[in-house]
Structures are given as C-alpha cells and as structure tokens.
Amino acid sequence: MDWAWQSIAPRTRWRILTTRPRQKVFVVILRADGLEDFELPVSTIQMRIRDVRGSYVRVTVPNPTEYTQEILARASGRMIIFAGEQTADGQQHLEEIIYANIQNLYFNQGSTNILTLAGTRFITHSNPGEVTLDGVRHVSRDESGRVKVRASVDRFVRPIDLVTAEGETFTADLIIHTVLAADAYMDVEGAASG
C-alpha cells in the first residue's frame, strides 16, 4: 500500500478564460485494474478530508440496477472524485479532489432503489497555503476556539491551510464537501489562530 501515504502539495489555481457560461460539475469515476474507467451517475457526494487521519468518501447512486455489472466489476477498486467547470458547449475542465478505495456497498431497496458506495484513504498534506473563503454562508466559534465555516466549494482548500473567513483565521484540519442535486457547499473546521 505504498500509495496510501503520500505528500500532497496544494494544487496550482488556474482559470478558464471563456465568454461562454460555465457551471460547476462533479464527476465520480470507478477505476479497477484491467478495466476501463467508468463514470458513475450519482445523486449525492460527501467527502470528509483530513490530514494524516482517514479521509472518507461516500456517494449515492440512484437506479443502481442499471449499472450493476459496471459497479460490481470495479467493487475492489477505487472511486475518484473530480470537480471543475463545464462550458456551454459541453467541455469539462476537471481536477481530482480525492480518491478512496471502495470498502463498502450498501443497497437500499424500497420505493426507490439506492446504492451507497463508501471508502477511505489516508493522506498526508504538505506545503500549507493561505486561503480566503468565498461564498461564506455561516461562521461559528465554540468555547474551545474551534472555528467552523460553511462556504461555497473551493476544491483547492486542503487540511493544514491557513483559512480566513469573515474575520476569523484558523488552520483547517477537517474539510467536508457536500454535493447534492441542487446545492454544493463545504464545511471547513479548525483551531483558531492567535
């Protein structure tokens, strides 16, 4: 498992210059040795990204019976989460956020069938950056000095980054991305500086 622990530097920020409208997109790819990558249609994505301790990824798949063969063939592989933008002409510009080894598959049969895939990965981050969060929805601080911010998704924020949001500055140690059909946001938590 030499890939399980590695040093990951913050990614370089890039901009796509275009006059066409863009929308944020998230893509889930299932990958297994000896098979082609499979883009998995999902209804929700949740990622809990931490430094050193286990990071966790969970996705839900509506109507999973349509993809049974593809999913089961890759059940011992990885799921990789990409995020980026899609232009009006359909071109996608994506960057990997995280991947995790698939460890669990949960099937819920009822009025609607839903499959949940879950997995973990251990990551060590290095080269902390300084980030100011955009699209801040809520900031809170508890009595121990921990700060929690809910903001628009910024796929470049990593644990150990020094984060500023509406006057609060703290070192991030937990980032939770939540992607739903009609909304996407992240919660960033950490110990306040100073």
Using alpha carbons only, give the angle 40, 42, 44 rounded to the nearest 5 degrees: 145
Region 112-135: what's the mean pLDDT? 90
State the DSSP H helix or E strand holding residue 73, giving kind and residue range, or none if neither: helix 68-73
pLDDT per residue as tens digits for the range 1-11: 343 334 444 44
- For residue 21, what pLDDT is reported? 63
Topology of domain 22-125 in CATH is Thrombin, subunit H (2.40.10)
Burial of residue 153 (CB within 10 Å: 0-12, 13-18, 19+) is buried
Question: Average of pLDDT values for 17-42?
Answer: 84
pLDDT score of 5: 37
> What is the tens place of the pLDDT at every residue in 145-189?
899 999 999 988 999 999 999 989 999 999 999 999 889 999 999
* Residue range 47-89, pLDDT digits in tens: 999 988 889 999 999 888 899 899 999 999 999 999 988 888 8
- Region at 147 (left for phi over 0; alpha for psi -120 to 50; beta for the rest): beta
Q: Is the pTM of this model over 0.95?
A: no
**Closest residue by Cα to residue 70 from 102, 25, 44:** 102
Residue with tokens 């040093």, as numbered in its chain: 7
Least confident of 11-20, 93-102, 108-117, 127-136: 11-20
- Residue 105, H or E segment: strand 92-108
Q: Where are the domains of the chain?
A: 22-125, 130-192
Phi-psi label, residue 133: left if phi above 0, alpha if psi -120 to 50, beta otherwise: beta
pLDDT for residue 18 is more than 80: no
